[in-house]
Chains A and B, each alone.
Chain A
C-alpha cells in the first residue's frame, strides 16, 4: 500500500517535535477525518530557519509532514507558500488515492502558519 519512501519517512520522520520559541504556528486537519497536524516555524532573515511538526495520523500523514519540513526548510515564506500538498505527495513518490484528501495536509498547516504569522498573531 505504501512505497518505501513513505515507510522510510514514517519510520524516521525528520523534524519531529515542538519549537517553544516559534515565530509562527499553524495547524490543519480535523479529528472527524482522522488526521491533525501542528507546525512550528522559526524564522531568521526572512527564511525558515527551523521547522518542527507534530502529527496525529496514519503513516501517510506522518510521512507527508516529514517531507514538507524537508522541502521548505531554508526557504523564504513566499517560496514556501509555493509548495502544495501535491508537491509533497510527488516528492514521496505518490500517495494512495484515498490518502490524498485526508492525510495529505502538511502544506495546509504550513500555509496556516504563514497566514497566522502575517496576521501578526502571537505564536504559541
Chain B
C-alpha cells in the first residue's frame, strides 16, 4: 500500500516550488558570469540579481538598496545583531525575548561573553511579549531590541509594530526575525517600524542556503567579515546567484498568494486544532488566535512527542516536536518552558506546520490516524493510569 506523504513540517522547511526552480535553472546551467565582472556575461547576471533584489524589496515595502542577501536566516540574524554590536566596541545593552530562535538567542549569549549586557524579557502563557515589560527593561545604554515577528515553534505573533514604535521613541535600533512570517503574512517594514528584518527563502518554497537582511537606509552596521566588497561591503563574497534568483521568484509569488493562502491555511489550522483537542487531555500551545496561519502546536498529555512523531511517520505523516528526545538535548524546548509548561507536557509536544499543498483531506487523515496512536502510547504510559 502506497499513500501520499502528508508533509506538515513547513516550519522546518518547504519544498522548492517549480517556478522558482525554473527561474534558477539558467543560472545553474548557462549563465555563470560573476555579477561583479564588467563583461557581458557578468552584466547579465548582475541585472538578474538586481531584479531579484527589487522583488524582495517590493515584498517588504522596502527599497532595493536596503536588501542584503545572506546565506539564510541564521546569517541575517547574526549580521544584524553582531553588526550592530560591533560598531559599539563591546559595551551597551540589548533587549530580546526568551522565546527567540537560537539564531538570535545564542548570538545574544555570545555577545554577553564579549561584554554586552542582554535582558531576556519573559513572555506570557501564550508566548507573547508584553511591550510594557519591554519598555521597563530599557536602560540608558540600550542600543538594540530584537524580537521575532512570530515564533517558529508555537506560532505566536509578537506585537512588532508596537515594539518598533517603542524602540523608535527611545532611539533604539529594532531587529525582527521574520523568518516564519515573510511569504505567509503581509510584511511592511514601514508599518512595522523595524530597522532590521531577517528572512529565509526555504520557508516560502524557495531554495535553501539563501536569505536576506533588510537594513533601513542610513543605519550603519559593521560587516562580520571582509572580502571583495559585495553587497555594498556589508556581506562580501561572490553572490549565490541561483539562490538569489530563486528567492526573488519564490517571494514574489508567495506575496501575491498571501490573501488566499492565509485564509486556506487558517481554516485547515483551526480544523486540525479542534480535532486534536477533541482527543482529550490535549493542550494547545501558543495563542488561540494570534498565531501563524499554518501553525498547530499541541501537547498530548501522558505521552512523549518523539514516540508520536515516529508513529505518525510510519503512517506517512511528517511533523516535529519540542521534546528533549527529538531536539537532541536533555532539556525540552526553551519556548515551551518559557510559556510555563511542565516538563512532562513539554515532552509531549507535537508541531504540525501547514503550508502550500496541504489539503482538507490531509487534515482529515491526520485526525483519523492520530487518535489511535495517542491511545496506544497512553496505554503504555505509567502516568496515564495513575492520573485516571
Residues of A within 8 A of B (CB): 2, 7, 10-11, 13, 16, 18, 27, 31-38, 53-62, 98-99, 101-103
* CB neighbours of B380 from chain A (8 A): 13, 16, 53-55, 62
Let me know if B382 and A37 touch, CB within 8 A.
yes
Q: Which of B62-70, B81-89, B221-229, B301-309 is the contact stretch?
A: B301-309
B317-340: which have CB < 8 Å to A?
323-326, 328, 330-332
Docked pose: A53 CA to B324 CA in angstroms: 22
The one of B325, B330, B382 that contacts A27, using a Cβ cutoff of 8 Å: B382
Let me know if A57 and B324 touch, CB within 8 A.
no
Docked pose: A11 CA to B332 CA in angstroms: 24
Residues of B within 8 A of A (CB): 302-304, 306-307, 310, 314, 323-326, 328, 330-332, 342-344, 347, 379-383, 385
- Least Cβ–Cβ distance between B369 and chain A, in angstroms: 14
Question: Contacts A33-B324, A34-B324: A57 and B385 contacting too (C-beta < 8 A)?
Answer: no
* CB neighbours of A53 from chain B (8 A): 380
Let me know if A32 and B383 touch, CB within 8 A.
no
Docked pose: A27 CA to B342 CA in angstroms: 20
Let me know if B328 and A98 touch, CB within 8 A.
yes
Docked pose: A62 CA to B306 CA in angstroms: 11
Let me know if B302 and A34 touch, CB within 8 A.
no
For the residues of B in contact with A, the DSSP-based class is helix
Docked pose: A78 CA to B42 CA in angstroms: 78
Docked pose: A103 CA to B302 CA in angstroms: 16
Question: Contacts A11-B314, A31-B347, A34-B347: A56 and B332 contacting too (C-beta < 8 A)?
Answer: no
* CB neighbours of A16 from chain B (8 A): 379-380
Let me know if A54 and B343 touch, CB within 8 A.
no
Query: What are 22 A-B interface contacts by the 8 Å CB criterion?
Result: A2-B310, A16-B380, A31-B343, A32-B343, A33-B324, A34-B304, A34-B324, A34-B325, A34-B343, A35-B325, A54-B382, A56-B344, A56-B347, A56-B382, A58-B323, A59-B306, A60-B325, A62-B307, A62-B380, A101-B330, A102-B324, A102-B330
Let me know if B385 and A59 touch, CB within 8 A.
no
Let me know if B330 and A57 touch, CB within 8 A.
no
* CB neighbours of A60 from chain B (8 A): 325
- Least Cβ–Cβ distance between B284 and chain A, in angstroms: 21
Docked pose: A57 CA to B382 CA in angstroms: 10
**Taking CB as reference atom, which chain A residue is nearest B323?**
A34
Other A-B pairs, 16, CB within 8 Å; known A16-B379, A34-B330, A54-B380: A7-B310, A7-B314, A13-B380, A27-B382, A31-B344, A32-B343, A34-B304, A34-B323, A34-B324, A53-B380, A54-B385, A55-B381, A56-B347, A59-B307, A61-B304, A99-B325
Question: Contacts A31-B347, A58-B306: A102 and B381 contacting too (C-beta < 8 A)?
Answer: no
* CB neighbours of A99 from chain B (8 A): 325
Let me know if A57 and B304 touch, CB within 8 A.
yes
10 tightest A-B contacts by CB? A54-B382, A58-B325, A58-B306, A38-B382, A34-B324, A31-B343, A31-B344, A56-B381, A59-B310, A34-B347
Docked pose: A34 CA to B343 CA in angstroms: 7
* CB neighbours of B382 from chain A (8 A): 27, 36-38, 54-56
Question: Contacts A13-B380, A32-B343: A56 and B302 contacting too (C-beta < 8 A)?
Answer: yes
**Taking CB as reference atom, which chain A residue is nearest B342?**
A31
* CB neighbours of A61 from chain B (8 A): 304
Let me know if B307 and A57 touch, CB within 8 A.
yes
Docked pose: A7 CA to B381 CA in angstroms: 18
**Taking CB as reference atom, which chain A residue is nearest B310?**
A59
Question: Contacts A10-B310, A31-B343: A103 and B303 contacting too (C-beta < 8 A)?
Answer: no
**Taking CB as reference atom, which chain A residue is nearest B326?**
A58
The one of A2, A18, A103 that contacts B385, using a Cβ cutoff of 8 Å: A18
- Least Cβ–Cβ distance between B381 and chain A, in angstroms: 5
- Least Cβ–Cβ distance between B257 and chain A, in angstroms: 35
* CB neighbours of A36 from chain B (8 A): 382-383
Let me know if B383 and A56 touch, CB within 8 A.
yes
* CB neighbours of A13 from chain B (8 A): 380
**Taking CB as reference atom, which chain B residue is nearest A29?**
B382
**Taking CB as reference atom, which chain A residue is nearest B380?**
A16
**Taking CB as reference atom, which chain A residue is nearest B324?**
A34
* CB neighbours of B332 from chain A (8 A): 34
